[in-house]
Amino acid sequence: MTKRMGVTALVFSGLMLAPIPIGAQWPPVPDLNVPRDSKGNVRGDAPAPRTSDGKPDFSGLWMHANSGPPGGGRGGQGGAPAGANPGGGRGGNPIDLSTPPFPFDPNGPPVATFFEAGANMDGGLPYTQWARDIRKKRLDNLQARDNPDANCMPMGFLQFHQQPQPRKVMNVANPKMILIEYEANNGLRHIYMDGRKLPPQGEPTPWWYGYSVGHWDGDTLIVETNNLRGAEDTKFDGWLDVNGSPHSEQAKFTEKIRRPAYDHLQIDMTVEDSKAYTKPWTVRVDQRLIVDQDLIEFECNENQQFRQHVK
């Protein structure tokens, strides 16, 4: 990963934590299983690989890739070209590995943006008054200083999905699950594929990443998640995006995950939360495969300096 610059915990309000410099780490290790052309370039349009049971294999290192409509979006990123950085580090250093663009799909759900989940949605997210008040306080009054990312806390799924730092998806055989390791804040998520049912809402102890179970519908993985910590718990909980769109403890997330091509992972996320939103809504996130690289170690809590700069 010698070309990837240091990355940061959060971009917002023009403030950036210092990037982590790249020092000694694993050199690029070529993956002999990756389809390549005669020049050694990855054939991104090749078919998705499959596991022994014939299902698409989501394993790999993935980077967020913007794919919103050109010139669109209310959140400052909706019209950014695919692969554009959500921000820069101090001194103009890039914080995201630039990736080639994915074509915009006008027939798909609105594309979420890094700062604002509903930036490409007509009228924005359908907030209830409860949610609107929370978002206003977080964005206007607090300038997002309580965002969990800025405080080295676990983030919400949409922030994780769109972080400029990569994530590694792994298939685990026993117990059967998909394990997602996020470079950002050492996030770790378990999606159980062993046939267990989603626990009843309100019964288990709420978790930052909730309880996730998955099942296949053809080549689409359906992942359902509930029993998350919400905005009722602490000021650092229940954040959907950098601008502070909240979710409550009642929220249920349904992700439809596909791998339409070798280097393309597509996630359509539906949020059902009657306390925070007047109706369910769905947004899309696209990610691109990064080969011959691996995650770097990222420890956010050590020497966390953000709070002293914001009063």
Question: Could you report the per-residue pLDDT of 136-177, keeping only the tens digit for each?
Answer: 999 987 777 899 988 888 888 888 888 888 999 999 987 799
Backbone angles phi, psi at 176, to 5 degrees: -65, 120
pLDDT tens column, 203-261: 999 999 999 999 999 999 999 999 999 999 999 999 999 999 999 999 999 999 999 99
The answer to the question of residue 211 being in a domain is yes
At residue 282, does pLDDT exceed 70? yes
Quote the pTM value: 0.84
The answer to the question of residue 39 being in a domain is no
pLDDT tens column, 75-133: 434 444 334 444 444 444 455 567 777 999 999 999 999 899 999 999 999 999 999 99
The answer to the question of residue 30 being in a domain is no
User: What is the number of domains present in the chain?
Assistant: 1
Distance of alpha carbon 276 from alpha carbon 274, whole angstroms: 6
The answer to the question of residue 159 being in a domain is yes
Task: Fill in the DSSP letter of residue 13.
Answer: T
The answer to the question of residue 29 being in a domain is no
**Whole domain around residue 96: which residue ranges?**
1-12+59-302+305-309
Distance of alpha carbon 191 from alpha carbon 268, whole angstroms: 16
The answer to the question of residue 20 being in a domain is no
The answer to the question of residue 136 being in a domain is yes
Q: What is the distance of C-alpha 145 from the center of its chain?
A: 20
The answer to the question of residue 53 being in a domain is no
Q: What is the distance of C-alpha 151 from the center of its chain?
A: 17
Question: Which has the closest alpha carbon to 24: 1, 44, 51, 58?
Answer: 1
Residue 242's CB: how many other CB atoms inside 10 A?
29
51-64: burial string, b at 16+ Cβ within 10 Å, e else: eeeebbebbbbbbb
Mean pLDDT of the chain: 83
Question: Which has the closest alpha carbon to 91: 13, 159, 24, 19?
Answer: 19
